[in-house]
Structure 1
Amino acid sequence: MKYKKLFSPLQSGDLTLKNRIIMAPLTRMRAGEDFSPTELNAEYYAQRATAGLIITEATQISQQGQGYLNTPGIYTDQHEAAWKRVVDGVHANDGKIALQLWHVGRISHSKLQPGETLPVAPSAIPVTESTSRIPKDGGFERVLCDGPRALTLDEIPGIVNDYTNAAIRAKRAGFDAIEIHSGNGYLLNQFLSTNTNHRDDIYGGSLENRARILLDVIDAATSIYGAGRIGVRLTPNGIFNEIQDTDAEEMTEYLARAFSQRGLAYLHIAEPDWAGGEPLTDTFRQDIRKNFTGSLFFCSHYTAERADKLLCEDIADAVAFGRLFLANPDLPERFRLNAPLNEPDSSTFYCGGAEGYTDYPAL
Structure 2
Amino acid sequence: MKQSWKKLVAVLLTVTMLGALGGCGQEAAAPTDGDSAKDAPKTESTPDAAENDNADAKAGEESQSDSIKVGYSLKTVQEERWQRELDGCEAAAKDLNVELIYQVANGDAQTQVSQIENLITQGVDVIMVTAVDAGALTNILNTAKEDGIKILVYDQQLENTYGDAFVGYDDFTNGTLIAQELKNLDIKGNVVLLHGDKSSGIEKIIDGEKSILDQLDVEIVMEQYCQNWGAEAALGYAQNALAEQNNDIAAFVCMNDGIASGTIQALEEVGMDGKVAVTGMDCELTAVQRIAKGTQTSTLYKDSVALSRAAIETAVKLAKGEAVTTESTINFGVNDMPHVIVNSAVITKDNIDSELIDTGYYTKEEVYAE
Compute the TM-score of the two structures, normalised by the length of structure 1. 0.27
Which has more radius of gyration? 2
TM-score by length of 2: 0.27
Higher helix share: 2
Report 1 or 2 for greater relative contact order, CA contacts < 8 Å, sequence distance ≥ 6. 1
